[in-house]
Structure 1
Amino acid sequence: MGRIVTLTDDVTTRLYDTGEDHLTPVVLLHGMAATGMLNWYQTFQRLQGEYRLITYDQRRHGMGDGGRFDFQSLSEDVLRVADHLDLDMPVIGGYSMGGIVAQLAARRDPSRLGGLVLAATGTGAQRNGLEKITLGSLTRGAPALNAVPLEVAREIDDEVPGAYTWAIRELASVPLATHRTVIAEVARFNSTSWLHELDLPVAIIKTMRDIAFPRWIQDEMADLLPHSAVFPLSAGHAACATHPGRFARRVRTALGWVVSNRH
């Protein structure tokens, strides 16, 4: 069950935490136009008991409320969540936009983190592909709507009448203005000049049919990082929804690599 936490005087969020203090903490950051659980519920279901899994709604997504919206501010929130939960060297997993935020959090203070798992993301994005994916999620309902197990939806919120209703509500909680803002922010992002500075293990889940972050952008990210490993997944940008089982297995493998290669 999620709970509302305060990150700063003007920023609150809905946070989910499996809570096992003896397990390696993993903070999972969602992508654009999504929420924490909409992107990561399948991973929670499959990996619970192996890691302490944490996710939350980033600003202007779901129940992430208040404060200015830019990726630097979102990266500060990552460290605030780690402080709030008193996490020791958490691994940060980032999906799409969340991968960009994870890169920036690692640049801000790599000594605080145990490593990164970056999925369906890169050094920047193809704006046309990004718009196609984001608008498609609005007009077609997105594959996520058919991928939420009913029992998971009920665990997330006891009052939800069904998985489809829950997923629709999560998607609808992200205003259209946020979609436009995120696309503009992602289009401006470029980490090629500083990725080589990140001295921590980074596992990349490479989505092989991604039109928002094409393979060459993901390859560029892997080549620039000094300590990286690539785990290919034959799927598009919405892999967490269209191939949830395979995606969760890749996350498990990627996390295992990061944990075994921590300094």
Structure 2
Amino acid sequence: MPIIRLDGARVHYTDSGGTGRPVIFLHGGFGSSSELWQRTIDALPSGFRGLAIDNFLRSDAPPGGYTITSLACRVAAFIDRLELDRPIIVGHSMGGVVTQMTAVRYPEKLGGIVLVCTGPSMTNHALGRALLGQLETEGIDTMREISAHWFRELPQPFFDGYVERAKAAPLSAMIDIQASLIETDMRPHLPNVGLPALIVWGAHDAGRTMEHAQRLLDGLRNSVLAEMTESGHSPMLETPEAFDAAFHGFLNSIPE
């Protein structure tokens, strides 16, 4: 599990290795980590190299603090540091907003984007706001209850490990990035993004509803929707076969 320095901060990431086209995976908030993407990385089709950045665990804070913009800058620096050629960026939940910000600020560095159970703003996302308040008042002890919202059915034994890792993440970092997420509105900027975009939506997602996915579809002119009919907020783990079918099809559709 390599560690590099980006803008003076240590950043941990996982890397499947090889010389295939790079795919960078970004986890969500509330203490999530690169482990969220390990199954997806292991299932990548031949010709692709999977890399997943850790932002809470094993890594230092970005120099600008835990904000959506700072994490997007980290992605750009990661691409430059590893000399990655137009990677596809895949972001889940909060990581999907970081992906949008990266695509707006650094479109020339990217080959495409995948937005999983996310949206361009927190408008009409009462659950996300409520969970931030719960984390602020109850602290780390509430992580199991918060984490249960990310799955329609809890995937064991993965879920227990997920909760333990989330409880090890810095509380202040989780609060700061969620506050930044609430303040961020990507809607005015999406029409400037011409990259190929896959929008993945879980039909049973209690937080990021079809309204959020539709805003992405309306704003991103080169986007397509993949609906995961049996999934909640984390289709890459809840319905992996359906997710992989849509995801791999999109990867293979992007020209070199």
Asked if these proteins are the same fold (TM beyond 0.5), I'd say yes
Report the equivalent of 2:53.
56
Paired residue for 1:14, among 12, 18, 38? 12
What residue identity is the alignment partner of 2:214? D
The verdict on how the C-alpha distance between 1:228 and 1:140 changes in structure 2, with shifts beyond 3 A counting, is closer
Deviation per CA, 1:61-112: give whole Å up to 9, x if none.
Answer: 1112133111111001111111121101111111111110011111112111
Paired residue for 1:251, among 232, 247, 250? 247
Shift of 1:176: 2.8
The reply to whether residue 215 of structure 1 matches residue 215 of structure 2 is no
Where structure 2 has 5 or more consecutive residues not aligned to the other structure, the ranges are: 135-141
Distance 1:132 1:254 in 2: 34
Report the equivalent of 1:146.
156
Report the equivalent of 1:39.
36
Report the equivalent of 1:116.
113
The reply to whether residue 4 of structure 1 matches residue 3 of structure 2 is yes
Deviation per CA, 1:155-183: give whole Å up to 9, x if none.
Answer: xxxxxxxx94x434422222333332232
The reply to whether residue 188 of structure 1 matches residue 183 of structure 2 is yes
Paired residue for 2:126, among 114, 128, 131? 128
Report the equivalent of 1:100.
97
Question: Relative to structure 2, which stretch is displaced further, 119-128 or 245-254?
Answer: 245-254
What residue identity is the alignment partner of 1:14? H
Query: Alignment partner of 1:47: what SS?
Result: coil
Distance 1:122 1:25 in 2: 24
Report the equivalent of 2:169.
174
What residue identity is the alignment partner of 2:36? N
Shift of 1:238: 2.9
Distance 1:140 1:75 in 2: 25
Distance 1:49 1:132 in 2: 41
Where structure 1 has 5 or more consecutive residues not aligned to the other structure, the ranges are: 149-162
The verdict on how the C-alpha distance between 1:249 and 1:50 changes in structure 2, with shifts beyond 3 A counting, is farther
Query: Alignment partner of 2:176: what SS?
Result: helix
**RMSD of Structure 2 on Structure 1 (CA):** 2.4
What residue identity is the alignment partner of 1:63? R
Query: Alignment partner of 2:58: what SS?
Result: coil
What residue identity is the alignment partner of 1:16? T
Query: Alignment partner of 1:146: what SS?
Result: coil
Shift of 1:254: 2.9
Give the number of equivalent residue pairs.
Answer: 240
